[in-house]
């Protein structure tokens, strides 16, 4: 017997309010990458016909629903927070200053250990 699921579209009320956080690790070194997006939408599913309760600041990747898909558009800023020794921070900064993307760090042995997505404004939830 299959369980019926219900699909919902989640969007921010205000622009520039979606925060994507990726935590990059290499050994015991960490870099926290925060990217702010102007627009985006998220599609979640529930097992009941009741809309999911999602509030400003909730991590959309860890709610009482399944995050099926999402899209973001027009990154407005990116901030890096280094939780590593000074030598590693300097090496990474030089790597990025050479025109490499933070995503190129994967070729240098870094990997994303986890990601989070937040809407930092009021949220609209509607049937998809």
Query: CB of 107 within 8 A of CB of 64?
Result: no
* Residue carrying the six token digits 């760090």: 105
pLDDT at residue number 3: 82
Q: What angle do CA 63, 123, 53 make, to 5 degrees?
A: 35
Q: How far is CA 38 from CA 35, 67, 73, 120, 126, in A?
A: 10, 20, 6, 11, 20
pLDDT at residue number 63: 86
Question: Cα(27)–Cα(93) distance, rounded to whole angstroms?
Answer: 18
The chain-wide mean pLDDT, for the chain, equals: 96
pLDDT at residue number 1: 64
User: Is the pTM here over 0.75, yes or no?
Assistant: yes
* In the predicted structure, residue 119 carries a pLDDT above the cut 90: yes
* Residue carrying the six token digits 């399944």: 66
Which residues, 6 or more positions from 100, have their beta carbon under 8 angstroms from its beta carbon? Answer: none
DSSP 8-state symbol, 103: G
Please write the tens of the pLDDT for every residue from 45-79. Answer: 999 999 999 999 999 999 889 999 999 999 999 99
């Amino acid at each position: 017997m299959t369980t019926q699921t219900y699909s919902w579209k989640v969007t921010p009320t205000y622009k520039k309010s979606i925060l994507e956080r990726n935590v990059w690790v290499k050994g015991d070194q960490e870099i926290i990458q925060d990217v702010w997006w102007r627009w985006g939408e998220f599609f979640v599913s529930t097992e009941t016909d009741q809309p999911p309760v999602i509030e400003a600041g909730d991590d959309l990747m860890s709610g009482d629903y399944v995050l099926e898909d999402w899209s973001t558009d027009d990154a407005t800023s990116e901030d890096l927070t280094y939780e590593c020794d000074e030598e590693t921070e300097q090496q990474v900064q030089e790597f990025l200053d050479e025109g490499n993307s933070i995503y190129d760090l994967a070729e240098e042995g870094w990997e994303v250990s986890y990601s989070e997505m937040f809407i930092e404004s009021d949220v609209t939830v509607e049937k998809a």
